[in-house]
């Protein structure tokens, strides 16, 4: 047994899992607010990363400004997608809406390849120091920052939904649209806002992964990994999405460890999350935190 490798993989799992958790939250946000299963979530991640890369390399602007511009871009992008593509689909059958988001995913995937090419592109170096020492362990700065960013986003979400007026309005809309309207909440703006937040936060995850691995169309794999995470957590639970993401991140790295030490099947890391997905659907279809309605009359 190689304990250093094990520890390394678990830390990897935690960091990647936190990123899955962030994207899963975005997915759940859209699903809860507007009942749309967004198959294009991974492409939001991809677009965010490419746009940020574009600002940084083509215009040579400082990272902070490029990053903020990317967020602004993604907010507008999310609202546009919702208003132009999804709003006319309100009231259509679920399967039609799913087909639309799958379509969006394919279009954006191709569009990004067309615009930026098929090869992975590295981000310009952002941090002065490659790695920092934490408790005697050398940790790459990007990983540390990535974990901090993920935790920061999660705390931000928690604050938003607990304490802000719009956060409460979103929860109310998710619970019962008619009641939300009776309270004076415009569900159109709630929908648009959910998509805007979701797109912008996904982009943050995209930039982080892009900084670590470089940007390429492979980045949208996060969108696929998000499914096991949200199913595990319960499709409509934000907390569930976060935990599901972290668990999936740990499990796939654990599988990688087992694979590399004993089994030598290869690529178990890619497959195991989907085994989890299938098992969860069979034994606990609501996931860990999925709602069963409170009913008391």
Partner 1 sequence: MTAAAEPALSPSAAAAPSARPLLAVNNIEVVYADVILVLRGLSLAVPQGQIVALLGANGAGKSTTLKAISGLLKTEDGAITRGEVLFDGQPVHGLEPEAIVRRGIFQVMEGRRIIADMTCLENLRLGAFTRRDRGQVPADIDMVYQYFPRLKERTGLAGYLSGGEQQMLAIGRALMAKPKLILMDEPSMGLSPFLVQEVFHIIRQLVSDLGVTILLVEQNARMALQVASYGYIMERGKVVLDGTAAALAQNEDVKEFYLGGGGGEDRKSFKNLKSYKRRKRWL
Write out the residues near partner 1 by the rule CB under 8 A.
165, 168-169, 171-172, 175-179, 181-186, 291, 293-297
Cα separation, 266 vs 145, in Å, equals: 30
Nearest-approach distance from CB 256 to partner 1, in angstroms = 38
Beta carbon nearer to partner 1, 128 or 295: 295
In the bound state with partner 1, the residue whose beta carbon lies nearer, of 59 and 175, is 175
- Angle (CA) 234 236 241, round 5°: 60
| Closer residue to partner 1 in complex, CB, 158/168 | 168
CA atoms within 13 A on the CB side of 74: 31
Rg (CA), the chain: 19
- Minimum Å distance from CB 158 to partner 1? 14
Q: Which is nearer to partner 1, 172 or 247 (CB)?
A: 172
Burial code of 41-70, b = ≥16 C-beta within 10 A, e = fewer?
bbbbbbbbbbbbbbbbeeeeeebeebbebb
| CB nearer to partner 1: pick between 132 and 168 | 168
Considering the complex, what minimum distance in angstroms separates the CB of residue 53 from partner 1? 40
Please answer whether residues 176 and 16 qualify as being in contact, where contact means their C-beta atoms are separated by less than 8 angstroms: no
In eight-state DSSP terms, residue 288 is T
Q: How many residues does the chain have?
A: 297
CB of 164 or CB of 267, closer to partner 1:
164
- How near is the Cβ of 284 to partner 1 at its closest, in Å? 20
Q: Which residues pair with 140 in a beta bridge?
A: 131
Minimal distance in Å, beta carbon 186 to partner 1? 5
Distance between CA atoms of 146 and 23, rounded to whole angstroms? 13
| Minimum CB distance to partner 1, residue 178 (Å) | 5
């Amino acid at each position: 047994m190689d304990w250093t490798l094990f520890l390394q993989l678990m830390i990897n799992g935690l960091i990647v899992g936190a990123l899955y958790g962030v994207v899963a939250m975005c997915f759940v946000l859209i699903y809860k607010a507007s009942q749309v299963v967004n198959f294009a979530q991974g492409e939001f991640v991809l677009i965010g990363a490419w746009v940020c890369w574009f600002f940084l390399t083509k215009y040579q602007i400082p990272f902070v400004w490029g990053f903020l511009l990317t967020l602004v871009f993604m907010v507008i992008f999310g609202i546009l997608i919702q208003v132009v593509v999804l709003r006319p689909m309100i009231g259509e059958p679920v399967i039609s809406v799913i087909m639309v988001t799958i379509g969006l995913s394919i279009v954006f995937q191709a569009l990004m390849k067309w615009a930026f090419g098929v090869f992975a592109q590295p981000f310009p170096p952002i941090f002065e120091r490659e790695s920092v020492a934490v408790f005697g362990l050398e940790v790459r700065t990007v990983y540390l920052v990535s974990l901090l960013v993920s935790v920061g986003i999660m705390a931000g979400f928690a604050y938003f939904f607990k304490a802000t007026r719009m956060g409460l309005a979103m929860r109310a809309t998710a619970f019962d649209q008619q009641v939300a309207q009776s309270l004076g909440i415009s569900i159109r703006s709630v929908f648009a806002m959910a998509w805007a937040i979701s797109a912008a936060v996904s982009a943050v995850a995209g930039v982080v992964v892009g900084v670590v691995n470089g940007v390429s169309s492979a980045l949208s794999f996060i969108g696929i990994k998000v499914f096991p995470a949200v199913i595990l957590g319960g499709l409509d639970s934000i907390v569930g999405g976060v935990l599901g993401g972290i668990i999936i991140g740990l499990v796939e790295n654990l599988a990688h460890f087992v694979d590399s030490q004993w089994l030598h099947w290869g690529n178990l890391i890619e497959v195991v999350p989907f085994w989890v997905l299938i098992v969860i659907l069979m034994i606990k279809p609501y996931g860990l935190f999925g709602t069963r309605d409170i009913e008391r009359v």
